[in-house]
Amino acid sequence: MVVARFKADRDEQYREFVNFEAEIAKEVAINKYTYAELEEEDIDLRKLQGWLEKIRKLDFSGAALAEDAAAGLRGCEELLDAYARRVFDAHDENR
């Protein structure tokens, strides 16, 4: 019972990575390609990286979403890289 609750708590924390993807998608949908937004998203990604490390340290029993969260973080990193390229393109930084 305690282990099940512990795993459920970790899984809930791992789900936070979905929010980052939704935020980037929102900015792309409204064509918001600003340096300020890029910086804000970069800060959020760094928080997620630290968050995942903290969750892993608490995940003694191997929560079901651990691998999904790690893959999600890699996806977030790739998503931010793509968003950064769009920001730079919008400001002709890569030409």
Q: pLDDT grade, residue 58 (50/70/90)? A: confident
Q: What is the largest CA-CA distance in the chain?
A: 58
Residue 51 phi/psi, 5-degree rounding, is -60, -45
Token pair for 80: 């931010």
pLDDT per residue over 12-53, tens digit each? Answer: 777 766 678 888 989 999 999 999 999 999 999 999 899 888
- Where is average pLDDT lowest: 5-19, 43-57, 63-77? 5-19
The amino acid occupying position 26 is: K
Identity (one letter) of the amino acid at 55? Answer: I
Determine the pLDDT at residue 55: 80
